[in-house]
Structure 1
């Protein structure tokens, strides 16, 4: 029975574009249809920077009702609508103000695929996010349907004035161009390994079906809600409902500071966002202690804020501090939160351009990598190689 393949690459036109999604399509289109689908023969449908959500829905619905295996490749960026705060795939005409009307609701993916027979549907995703959506996803999985196999990555916002590339999807396409499709789990792992340090900050998706979980960087264990989510009870309500948090005196207050921080980041007021997070960090330290989950949460928030502000030195320092504090508190080197902190420190270290700062933080990272190698092969070797290259560079005065 022939298979069906849907290639979807979408991102806004203009300054709202975070990723050049369509750049991956020529590479995918060069792969034999049978290799893309894993079936003897396949029908391939390609959507490049579509304009209308209904056009995407029509193609997805047709693919979902076709017999045989279905493989959906999606490259693009996720954004939240302003009314319901639900994720949408941004299309060519999407702007922050029009997401609800011009974006493709991610819930439609789940709904259109829900009646397919278990084990017949595979999604391969390479998605980038803006700051608000990144926060939202840190508290929730991206629900793509429990019976669908979902693999890929969700990347944090790129640096300011930088348009990212769908590196994961390009790695997948390059592997498939060999003419052989390995089992999807192996295909995913090989693509992740090709990302190298670039992918250490990503959230990896590795769900073989009947799960729909979000995984930690480099691994397949379910990722608990973490950074940029308040020190209140960890419920699915996440960021979008007011919760009780600590004010600068350590007493609970009603207003949720995370919405204020998000607004400041979106307005480009990064120092204001960090100052507010620092107040809550110090309040949590006074109330619960430096190594408490409440205090470490706010250190993680500040690490992400530094990343969003384009300050990899400060972000790397914060993630190193989080990892060190968790280890000092007796958490295992293989614990999810410890590995995530070291992976994110590693990613931010790779963004540092000042040789002196990179050397100093690289030594600390190498020491941590010796204790926390992570789930990706060669992480410690990568740090050592980069340090060796840095040693050959002259220090700038």
Structure 2
């Protein structure tokens, strides 16, 4: 039967990583892989994470399974971080997942279970795995306009026109902050307009939030999600701890399902537990316990927040320096959007041909749609990238 299998499409980012490794040029710059790196090109283990792990080694007495939904203390700590007091906790069910991707997958599985004919509206562009998973599950994808190729900001009018086609059976997928891949975000006034549309249409919002703390700050980045949670009757949230805790390989995520009626929460929770059981049984625990340890220890939490803020400000500084250098070289402010975007990524807004030209001529590696990882830059590579962009005629 194995001979009946068909070759699957190659992952473009993994292919790009392989090309980068094989490139012998000492000046090569990796802006493709979606992982935070410091100025030395290392993804560091955060101080609070190391301290929490030492504490766990000293105090943990068992590696037995947790519950199907993971440790309740983890869900509670994450709900505090994401939602604060914006939602009635009695209406919330939650389950730990293998990373943010696992939370997205479980959310889509839940959608299919709740409404087999549901369509999911996704931004154009969006994180490729959104569309890939939806396609695998056989859920119809409807794209809504999001990125404005001229301004490199949000095409809000186009977005609202497209979302107006949603019905009560549909799901609208939104990025909580630091939109991937564009880096362009809605402001709170625009978020309120989206909420008003959701309420009018009766559809289900789903928020994918993977970069809380990487944009404008922990509280500021959570504000849109909290605004939605405070007003809508139902909400799905897929959260990731990979980036803001730097625990990529620990695969630490959470799916939150908020219902309209607290009396139905046990049923919702039971369905989340059931989905976990079918897909991977018990979720991984080490990363979740590290996160819980940090968020429930005042000293560790303060140190984590301080280091996360250093990371955030460092990325903003890289953005500003790149925009400034491009302004110097080009004599125009057409690249000012790079300083306005938030998070790890920006969409340069150019063609795959010019992206390839920068790779061939300058050893600049970014995804073909021109998404670049700002965190892959440093003081030495900013001038190299800026010159490559100008030379390529972007």
Q: TM-score, normalised by structure 1?
A: 0.28
Structure with bigger RCO (C-alpha 8 Å, 6+ apart): 2
- Would you tell me which structure has more helix in proportion to its own residues? 2
Could you state the TM-score of these two structures normalised by the residue count of structure 2? 0.28
